[in-house]
Chains A and B, each alone.
Chain A
Amino acid sequence: MKRVLTGAGALLLLATAACGGTSSGTTSTSYKGNTIKLGAVFSLTGLGGVYGPQSKNAALLAQDDINAKGGVNGATIQLTVVDDGSDKTQAAQQTQTLIQEDGVIALLGPTLSNSAVAAHPVADSLKTPMMGTSNTGLNIVGTCPYPCDYIFRDSLGEQDAIPANIKTYADAKHPKTGVVLYPNDDKFSSDGAQIVNDTAPKYGIKIVKTIQFTKNEADLSPYVTEAVAANPDVIFITSLGGIPAKIMTTARADGWQGQFLGGNGFNTAAVSKQAGQAGLGAQSGSAWYPGINTQSNRDFIAHYKAKYGADPDQLAAQAYTGVMILADAASRANLTFKDVAKDRTSMRDAMLATNLSDTPLGPFKFTSSHDVKQTIYVVAMDGKGGFTLVSTVPL
């Protein structure tokens, strides 16, 4: 075991050395003896508690891996992870505290898009780069109600993931009818539903029913019964936490045999695990899947399993990549370690120029709107808490 680890460590070293090369090659000054302070705001409890923990684990893993092979130009990364309890206000406050108190030069998070819309403006107004690693909702980057010059994300937006998923399935199975199920008191879910309603018709899927409910319903069967009664080819579920699994279980119990399609809400082990057999085949567009054949992905998976005894998922991969991106930017940003404000701006400029050939997500570049443009992996739940690849939609 130990040997595997060190072996993998060595490989990772090569890998990041390589990508360091491919990034817009400013000869990096030495940071010896310094500490690069990074922060992360994740939802470890509350509704987002389904997603946050994996992000946290992976981010800390990345920190260790990078430090293990000598850090960034000799500087060690110090990542502070805090919990926002899936609460908007807390996310914003935590972000501010990390920036103002702990003096971080860049942040990851927050986990939920609903919290991001509150936290990101804070980072932006304090001129500190903040990168969402799981924010897939609308108005996160690009078209935001505030400048958002300092806001990035390496997570695949629903407006890309959902259409890709629908297209893939439509091309293969030509479904005719669909029903949309979503909690209407949740912004993220409502956004997703809107995307489905806009996209499905394009691929000849008629939305025969849109069923709204609320996050905190004890029992969703009445809705599912309504959905099943319409006997659609597809049931779209755009929502968070335990809801998708609950819907799948009930729908299968009611004997419905059709196809579940969804968004990023599906893409975590916890959901697949909770859905169990009922989830088998439930399909979603993902930014990641274990089979991505890059060196850093293989290492990432190996390390993650070794450290946490569980398979990583998309959120883990995105968080891990997030730290890699920040580290890479730091290595090119000529940090002063004295003038924090200046360092934050240089971090941002360096991030704009990010060009990594080898990350767990594959080659990585930001679009002009600080968004991610990457291959989409359409995956299906394997009924055992994991996912299998259905097809890939290249950029």
Chain B
Amino acid sequence: MGQQLLNAIFLGSIYALFAVGYTLVFGVLDVLNLAHSAVFMLGAVVAYSIVGLHGGPFWLGMLAALTVSAGMGLVIEFVALRPLRRRGAPPLSALIATIGLALIIVALIEQSHAGGWLGWLWQDGANPVRFPPGSVPNPILHVAGLIIPGDDIAIGIVTVALMLILGWIVRATSVGRALRAVAENQRASRLMGIDVDRLFALTLVGSSALAGLAGVLFGLALSDIDPYIGRDQVELRGLAIIVLGGMGSVTGAVVGGYLLAIIEVAVIVAGYTNLRAGVAFAALFLMLVLRPQGLFGSRVQERL
């Protein structure tokens, strides 16, 4: 039971890490960025190539992952989103543009083998790999009959820390204020001297960096890095989470992440392991039907 609670917390951290960046972009740009999962994967892949392929230290891998994924944020903004904004295309087209981008990223990685032109980055095609054992110390603690792997604790701590930092940025810094201003009212933000386009780019950089970081931690804690960890394992759940929490709400994403994790684990503990996913999506469905603005979102009113 206690063990399962730990599992839930750990799982929740993974979910939250992924969902926060996801929801940030939606909150500020009002676009669902489906390339987020690809960046998540790319982060893990980059870190692995430093640590696993080139024998570099883990911190370096982490650094590289952050840099690359942040860069991908710019790619998403300038290749997929900005051109469509300029054309005044509907958000739906933007969404599909990000899908196209995600397809490309995943396809390039899954086709990359030793000796290929991306061989220096990834050599295992579609195969799952793990960080070489011992690339980070991972003691397994035994507390009151509970088994707690070190990296689980690490993830928990990192997540909480990140959320606090992010919360502080959004609440206290001028960038954060600008973010919330733009999210709430672009016109007024412009009149207060906020360069909205620059802020959009910044948002994508930040959210993508978060995605990359999440990817690395995911690969570390679940010893599973492959081209599909983003697309297959976290993307849909991430969607469910940001809806539960309220689309665009950072707090919501965190709470939603842990909430969904707890719900899912509860279903498993109750013995209905076969219903876990079903329940997760039923929750998503019900939340939208009963409370479209989610737990922390705010309702939008259309006036004549």
Contact = CB atoms under 8 A, between A and B. Distances in A.
Direct contact of A and B (CB under 8 A): yes
Given A212-B273, A218-B14, A246-B222, A225 B125 contact: no
Contact of B223 (A46, A48, A214, A245): A245
B268 A226 contact: yes
B180 interface: no
A226 B111 CA distance: 37
Contact of A254 (B14, B124, B147): B147
A49 interface: yes
B127 A270 contact: yes
Interface in A204-226: 211-219, 221-223, 225-226
Ranked nearest first, the 8 interchain pairs of A and B with the lowest CB-CB distance are A49-B126, A242-B128, A212-B274, A218-B233, A216-B232, A270-B127, A45-B110, A222-B268
A281 interface: no
B113 to A, nearest CB: 8
B225 to A, nearest CB: 9
B127 A246 contact: no
B269 to A, nearest CB: 7
Contacts of A223: 268, 273
Interface in A44-92: 44-50, 52-53
A258 to B, nearest CB: 15
6 contacts: A45-B125, A216-B232, A216-B233, A219-B7, A253-B149, A274-B223
Q: What's the dominant secondary structure at chain A's contact region?
A: helix
B273 A213 contact: yes
Nearest to A216: B232
A175 interface: no
A345 interface: no
B237 A46 contact: no
A103 interface: no
A219 B222 contact: yes
Contacts of B140: 253, 255
B94 interface: no
Contact of B7 (A53, A215, A225, A242): A225
A219 B268 contact: no
Nearest to A308: B114
A249 interface: yes
Nearest to B237: A218
Contacts of A242: 128, 224, 226
A246 B128 CA distance: 10
B125 A218 contact: no
A294 interface: no
Interface of B: 3-4, 7-8, 10-11, 14-15, 110-111, 113, 124-130, 133, 140, 147, 149, 218, 222-224, 226-229, 232-234, 236-237, 264-265, 268-269, 273-274, 276-277
Contacts of B226: 242
Given A212-B273, A222-B264, A50 B232 contact: no
Contact of A274 (B8, B11, B130, B218): B130
A337 B268 CA distance: 60
Contacts of A229: 3
B89 to A, nearest CB: 30
Interface in A247-299: 249, 253-255, 270, 273-274, 276-277
Prevailing SS type, chain B contact patch: helix
B59 to A, nearest CB: 22
Given A53-B126, A184-B274, A218-B14, 11 more contacts: A45-B110, A45-B126, A45-B227, A50-B128, A213-B273, A217-B233, A217-B277, A218-B234, A222-B269, A255-B140, A276-B133
A274 B129 contact: yes
A284 to B, nearest CB: 18
Contacts of B126: 44-50, 52-53
A195 B226 CA distance: 29
B276 A213 contact: yes
Size bracket, chain A contacts: 35 or more
A241 interface: yes
Contact of B273 (A45, A226, A273, A277): A226
B11 A222 contact: yes
Contacts of B224: 242, 245-246, 274
A360 B303 CA distance: 75
A219 B149 contact: no
Contacts of B110: 45-46, 49
A324 B280 CA distance: 49
B115 to A, nearest CB: 10
Nearest to A215: B232
B125 A246 contact: no
With a 10 A CB-CB cut-off, give which of A214, A216, A242 has the most chain B CB atoms.
A242
A219 B127 contact: no
Given A45-B111, A49-B110, A53-B125, A221 B130 contact: no
Contacts of A255: 140, 147
A249 B223 contact: yes
B95 to A, nearest CB: 21
Interface centre among B110, B127, B149, B234 (most CB of A within 10 A): B127
B22 to A, nearest CB: 14
Contact of A241 (B111, B128, B222): B128
A53 B126 CA distance: 9
A255 B149 CA distance: 10
A226 B265 CA distance: 10
Contacts of A277: 133
A219 B10 contact: yes
Contacts of A45: 110-111, 125-126, 227
Given A219-B11, A221-B11, A226-B268, A49 B127 contact: yes
Contacts of A184: 274
Contacts of A53: 113, 125-127
Nearest to A271: B128
Nearest to A212: B274
Contact of B3 (A216, A225, A274): A225
Contacts of A249: 130, 223
Contacts of B269: 222, 226
Nearest to B274: A212
Contacts of A245: 128, 130, 223-224
Nearest to B13: A219
Contacts of B237: 218
B220 to A, nearest CB: 12
